[in-house]
C-alpha cells in the first residue's frame, strides 16, 4: 500500500526546531525567570516566539551543518531595557544602594544571555560527545543568527560597562563562570532540558512568560508565585505574574 504525501507529512504548523536552538531559548528563559528570582531581582516580562524561517538553507559551519526550517527567540526579559552610553555616567548621581541595584540588574541581563548560548553548547557537547569549553560556547554562538544577536547584546553591555578592554574581559570572565555554575547545577540543567523539550514540540506562535514560569515552577517545584511588582525607573515597567 502506498501513501500520499499528506499522509506522511508533519501536521501543519508543527515546529521542526533544531534542538540546539530550543536549548538556547530554554537556557535564556530559565535564566530570566529562575536566575533572576534566585538573585532576588524583580520579575520582567518576556516571551518565546517560534516562527517559520523564510531563508531556510545551508550554513558553512562544522557544528551546525544546516539551518532548521523554524526559528525561536526570546523577546523582552531585560531588566535594563535601554543601555546608557556609559555605566559610570549613568550611575554617577546614584546612591550606593541604587548603584548596586542597577549593577545587579545589569549583570543579570548579561548572565541570562550567556545562559542561553551556554545551554546550547552544553547540550551540543553531550549530544556530540565533544569537550565543553568556552571556545565551543563562542563558536556555536557565532554560527547562528540568534547566537550572534545574543553576543552582540553582550558586547553592548560590556562596552557600556567600561572603555577598558581588560575590565570588559574580567567582567565577562566573572559572569561566564557564574553562569556556568548556574547552568551546570543539576536541578537547573534538568529544568532547562524540560523547557527545551517543551519548546521543541511546540507549534509556531508565542509562549508568554506566564506559561513558561508555570512550566518551570511545576517542574522545579516549591517556588513561590511571582507577585506583581513595578520595576524601578531604570527597568522595563512591566508586570508578570
Q: What residues does each domain of the chain span?
A: 13-220
* pLDDT at site 17: 66
pLDDT of 15 over the 70 cut: no
Confidence of residue 124 (pLDDT cuts 50, 70, 90): very high
Mean pLDDT of 92-111: 96
The torsion angles phi and psi of 67, rounded to 5 degrees, stand at: -75, 145
Mean pLDDT of 131-157: 91
* pLDDT at site 207: 94
State the chain's mean pLDDT as an integer.
Answer: 81
Whole-model pTM: value is 0.81
Q: Which residues neighbour 144 within 8 Å (Cβ) at sequence distance 6 or greater?
A: 21, 59, 64, 67
Assigned CATH topology for domain 13-220: Methane Monooxygenase Hydroxylase; Chain G, domain 1 (1.20.58)
Cβ atoms within 10 A of the Cβ of 221, count? 9
Mean pLDDT of 184-212: 92
Share of the chain above pLDDT 70, in %: 77
DSSP-derived secondary structure letter, 77:
-
* pLDDT at site 230: 37
Q: Answer for the pair 112, 88: CB distance below 8 angstroms, yes or no.
A: no
Distance in angstroms (rounded) separating the CA atoms of residues 15 and 27: 19
* pLDDT at site 18: 85
Spatial CA neighbour of 138 closest among 158, 157, 156, 152: 152
* pLDDT at site 143: 85
Amino acid at each position: 500500500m502506498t501513501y500520499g504525501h499528506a499522509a506522511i507529512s508533519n501536521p501543519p504548523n508543527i515546529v521542526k526546531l533544531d534542538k540546539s536552538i530550543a536549548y538556547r531559548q530554554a537556557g535564556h528563559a530559565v535564566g530570566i525567570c529562575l536566575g533572576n528570582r534566585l538573585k532576588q531581582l524583580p520579575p520582567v516580562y518576556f516571551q518565546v516566539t517560534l516562527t517559520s524561517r523564510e531563508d531556510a538553507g545551508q550554513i558553512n559551519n562544522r557544528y551546525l551543518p544546516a539551518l532548521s526550517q523554524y526559528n525561536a527567540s526570546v523577546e523582552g526579559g531585560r531588566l535594563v531595557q535601554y543601555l546608557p552610553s556609559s555605566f559610570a555616567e549613568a550611575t554617577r548621581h546614584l546612591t550606593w544602594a541604587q548603584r548596586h541595584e542597577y549593577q545587579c540588574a545589569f549583570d543579570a541581563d548579561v548572565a541570562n544571555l550567556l545562559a542561553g548560548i551556554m545551554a546550547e553548547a552544553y547540550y551540543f557537547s553531550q549530544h556530540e560527545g565533544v569537550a565543553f569549553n568556552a571556545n565551543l560556547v563562542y563558536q556555536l554562538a557565532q554560527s547562528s543568527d540568534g547566537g550572534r544577536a545574543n553576543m552582540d547584546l553582550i558586547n553592548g553591555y560590556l562596552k557600556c560597562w567600561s572603555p577598558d578592554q581588560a575590565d570588559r574581559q574580567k567582567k565577562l570572565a566573572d559572569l561566564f563562570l557564574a553562569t556556568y555554575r548556574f547552568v551546570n547545577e543539576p536541578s537547573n540543567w534538568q529544568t532547562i532540558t524540560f523547557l527545551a523539550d517543551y519548546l521543541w514540540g511546540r507549534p509556531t506562535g508565542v509562549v508568554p512568560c506566564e506559561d513558561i514560569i508555570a512550566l518551570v515552577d511545576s517542574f522545579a517545584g516549591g517556588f513561590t508565585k511571582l507577585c506583581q511588582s513595578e520595576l524601578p525607573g531604570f527597568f522595563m515597567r512591566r508586570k508578570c505574574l
